Chain A
């Protein structure tokens, strides 16, 4: 049995920047700039060397994390190594056609078209993905057509 209990609030590069793992590039950059701005303002106000050092460290971390997440390849690699961040999240259980607008449009187009064709309507398919008759794509081939003809004649 699975006795090891996971923690849904693990620390991550995303949590360091106060964003979710699904954040886009702009959100990452905005958050990085906001935190760096705050830290710099704080740095200018403190005089205690220990505090200054701690803020410096935090600045370095935020910079490094922000740069890493802003680089798509590095972010992809980080996400692959930390797939739990996007895995342990609530999933949509509904069928994708109900949630994805474009998918739904295409699906309904196909379904309604089939419904209408059954009732004698003429509606062309949206694309070849919905067609089933491709006899127009046959290339005439003497050798093949002769064999088919001879077979047909028995």
Chain B
């Protein structure tokens, strides 16, 4: 590893370098693979990554690529650690520095930067830092390795790779001797030691000794003067009382020749501010120095805050007035906005501590005006509303607090921004709800008692909050995973369609949690979520890439933990649903019904195998089916017993159930029932029609036939229910009104086959003497023949059509018979008239002809009646014919 260059060449990107390196990278990539080519590529990637001005995330990726080509060069892991540290990931940086140290165990540069990352990591890592620093200071490689071994134990403990759950304790080290550079080969070491020392406590004897030691190293040249003066400045940041001491350092003989150096002038300027008597004097002098460009504004802000910002002498109004004494230009600088927020927050926290909630609220509102997107301020305002029990403010401020956590992630275009805080937010609300009814047990982890669960279910506000917050926490917990497989919650050996199904399940969970939340930025959050899920699914769909999921192994234990937690949560929901069945309380049933919606929206396709693996359920169990059957039973019970006013709520919950388990058609049937009960006929009709073809996809044919029958009934019921009560039993009197109503309904609901058949039947039955009715029945049936929903309906329609047809024929026959018989009777009457007076041969002949014609007509009528099966009419015609023949015989005999 090369020694670091201490010279700075400016921070601007050098386009020429970048262009050349990009060209070289492409050129090298096109070359055949060889060791030399790979090393050259690694170097090209490295140089691109460390170019001044390189975007940090891109630089991290470039270094990872460089390390893939040359995994044995420590500088690659060192710079990876450096960039991760700069990117706010000190733990990840520790891991990379550790890798670099394995390749270059004696590098003090790496060790020093490892120590810096440890300082910014967790409290446990911070405890290891003094040992690492001591070892570097002493230049003792053995001691350094011992400290690193301790760190390795800590890394193993953090990653859960050790069976020992006790946190490794950091060994204490003596740090008193750490003054100066020691044997460290890295030049800036003494400054780091000083910063670490000053960072731990106010200026101490040890830090003063450090400055004394440092001045000894100042040579006659320019080297070290700036660093020394700047180190002196650090003593002033917390305490202006050090001004005299710092001025004395500046006057040391070694510094005498450097009094005009910018660093010395700057520190002296700060010392002058330290000598200002009152806060007002400080502001006046600082303002002037800022205007002259003698001091950087960030430094003045820090000094203002630590010297006067937390002063008990100034009340909030005085503190705010003091800030207003700076010029408008200065106050508008971003660092001064930070200063304002910090001062207002300091006073607000003091007021909160004293129980002066109204004052705290006003001050945080002022801070909010300075920065409306600052989560802690909104969070604190929500806590004020909680303590004052102001319902309206409480709701508004916590909603805003949640909204902001999502908005900031959306604005950053990164779902992981504020992720941990969001998880804590949702978990905390969920835990508060649970603890109200299921208290923590001091010993063991007994399951909640039935009565505790029932009491919880009864409190719908608390229970709904638990459901929503738990589900949202689970959703956010998934976002923690870098591994696409763990993000989706699928195993390494998943089936081909699993990634897509898991991505859809994730988005369904999002919909369940965020539907109805009209937060700013939530749509952006949703599209980021969709993008992430799609990318993960695409990655996981490729079996080769799946095996290269670098984070899979390291995140496995965390993923298993989440799976177990989700399963436990799911089974608790299931237990609540079982408990609520038969419950007298509507609140309990409704809460449990909602729990059902959350239950079926959990990704059971991927959780069930884990349940089976853990032996929680038999290998042939179908959990979703079991859950659905219980939820359906509960839903029906609730629909039957529940208040009519809750109909919309029940339907809303059921829609969530359907979204979670679209293949469970029982839910749709219940939905039809509920819609019918709520008199939402059009929706019931459409939903039943939509569900009907889905029965064909069911594996269980018997169940499919049963459901099909039920949906057809639902279609008809949705229409029949709309017929006015007085028309439901058609009589001769109300028949026209009934038919008119049926026609109107069928125009709107043409697929109500049952109603169509029933109306046609009525028409046919009452149509013996009304051919128009028969024609109407035929028309109604013919129109709807293609719209009928089952073979049975079609068969019935055909039968009715036949019946209507035959009845029409009969009516025609009756009419013809009647005509013939009337005509025969008329002829007979004429014949009798002709022969009743004075008979003449002509009259007798004419009467005979009339009678013969009448007999013929009677015979024709008889024949028609026989053909139509009208026996009475046939008998009448026969009898008439017989009577006519007798008359004819009488006439012929004279």
Chain A residues with CB under 8 Å of chain B are 1-8, 10-13, 16, 60-61, 64-65, 71-73, 81-84, 87-95, 97-99, 101-109, 111-117, 119-129, 131-139, 141, 143-144, 147-148, 151-152
Binary interface encoding of chain B residues 386-407 relative to chain A, with 1 for a CB under 8 A from any of its CBs, else 0: 1101010011001100100000
| Cβ contact within 8 Å between B342 and A95 | yes
| Cβ contact within 8 Å between A147 and B386 | no
| Cβ contact within 8 Å between A4 and B461 | yes
Can you give 21 contacting A-B residue pairs, CB < 8 Å?
A6-B432, A82-B435, A88-B428, A89-B383, A90-B380, A93-B364, A94-B345, A98-B302, A104-B237, A106-B195, A109-B195, A112-B266, A115-B266, A121-B261, A122-B226, A124-B227, A126-B195, A127-B113, A129-B82, A129-B113, A135-B9
| Chain B residues, Cβ within 8 Å of A82 | 431, 435, 440
Instruction: Give bound CA distance, A100 to B5, whole Å.
Output: 30
| Cβ contact within 8 Å between B427 and A84 | yes
Instruction: Give bound CA distance, A71 to B73, whole Å.
Output: 41
* Besides A108-B298, A132-B53, 19 new A-B residue pairs in contact (Cβ under 8 A), listed by A number: A2-B398, A3-B465, A5-B389, A6-B428, A60-B443, A61-B442, A83-B427, A92-B345, A93-B341, A93-B380, A98-B338, A109-B234, A122-B226, A123-B230, A127-B116, A128-B109, A132-B11, A134-B50, A151-B20
Closest CB in chain A relative to B651 CB, distance in Å: 20
Closest CB in chain A relative to B223 CB, distance in Å: 8
Which residues B327-363 have CB closer than 8 A to chain A? 338-339, 341-342, 345-346, 348-349, 352
Q: For the complex, is B142 an interface residue (Cβ under 8 Å from A)? A: no
| Cβ contact within 8 Å between B383 and A90 | yes
| Chain A residues, Cβ within 8 Å of B431 | 81-84
Closest CB in chain A relative to B339 CB, distance in Å: 8
User: How many of B's residues come within 8 Å of A, CB to CB?
Assistant: 120
Other-chain contact of A83, B47, B165, B223, B424 (Cβ < 8 Å): B424
Q: For the complex, is B278 an interface residue (Cβ under 8 Å from A)? A: no
Instruction: Give bound CA distance, A69 to B128, whole Å.
Output: 23
Q: For the complex, is B730 an interface residue (Cβ under 8 Å from A)? A: no
On whether A133 and B9 interact (CB within 8 A), knowing A94-B341, A127-B113, A152-B20, the answer reads: yes
| Chain B residues, Cβ within 8 Å of A117 | 8
| Cβ contact within 8 Å between A64 and B230 | no
| Closest A residue, CB atoms, query B305 | A98
| Cβ contact within 8 Å between B230 and A112 | yes
| Chain A residues, Cβ within 8 Å of B693 | none
Instruction: Give bound CA distance, A146 to B387, whole Å.
Output: 71
| Closest B residue, CB atoms, query A72 | B167
| Chain A residues, Cβ within 8 Å of B85 | 129
Q: For the complex, is B451 an interface residue (Cβ under 8 Å from A)? A: no
| Cβ contact within 8 Å between B440 and A143 | no
| Cβ contact within 8 Å between B5 and A8 | no
Q: For the complex, is B119 an interface residue (Cβ under 8 Å from A)? A: yes
Closest CB in chain A relative to B591 CB, distance in Å: 12
| Cβ contact within 8 Å between A94 and B346 | yes
The segment from B196-204, B574-582, B740-748, B828-836 that touches chain A is B196-204
Q: For the complex, is B629 an interface residue (Cβ under 8 Å from A)? A: no
| Cβ contact within 8 Å between B2 and A137 | yes
| Cβ contact within 8 Å between B188 and A124 | yes
| Cβ contact within 8 Å between A133 and B10 | yes
| Chain A residues, Cβ within 8 Å of B226 | 113, 116, 121-124
| Cβ contact within 8 Å between A102 and B302 | no
Other-chain contact of B23, A98, A109, A151 (Cβ < 8 Å): A151
Q: What 9 A-B pairs are tightest by C-beta distance, nearest first?
A: A102-B199, A136-B5, A94-B342, A84-B428, A4-B465, A123-B226, A91-B376, A87-B428, A93-B376
| Cβ contact within 8 Å between B432 and A84 | yes
Instruction: Give bound CA distance, A145 to B383, whole Å.
Output: 62
On whether A4 and B167 interact (CB within 8 A), knowing A102-B199, A124-B227, A129-B82, the answer reads: no
| Chain B residues, Cβ within 8 Å of A135 | 5, 9
Which residues B93-121 have CB closer than 8 A to chain A? 109, 112-113, 116, 119
Which residues B423-445 have CB closer than 8 A to chain A? 424-425, 427-429, 431-433, 435-436, 439-440, 442-443
| Closest A residue, CB atoms, query B463 | A4
Closest CB in chain B relative to A150 CB, distance in Å: 9
On whether A144 and B24 interact (CB within 8 A), knowing A104-B302, A115-B296, A134-B79, the answer reads: yes
Most buried by A among B79, B225, B305: B305
Other-chain contact of A131, B4, B302, B309 (Cβ < 8 Å): B4
The segment from B38-46, B640-648, B702-710, B790-798 that touches chain A is B38-46
On whether A8 and B43 interact (CB within 8 A), knowing A133-B9, A143-B28, the answer reads: no
| Cβ contact within 8 Å between B302 and A108 | yes
| Cβ contact within 8 Å between A91 and B20 | no
Most buried by A among B8, B222, B338: B8
Q: For the complex, is B33 an interface residue (Cβ under 8 Å from A)? A: no
Instruction: Give bound CA distance, A106 to B165, whole Å.
Output: 35
| Cβ contact within 8 Å between B299 and A108 | yes
On whether A144 and B52 interact (CB within 8 A), knowing A2-B465, A87-B424, A105-B237, the answer reads: no
Most buried by A among B238, B261, B266, B435: B435
Closest CB in chain B relative to A126 CB, distance in Å: 6
Which residues B10-67 have CB closer than 8 A to chain A? 10-11, 19-21, 23-24, 27-28, 36-37, 39-40, 43-44, 46-47, 50, 52-53
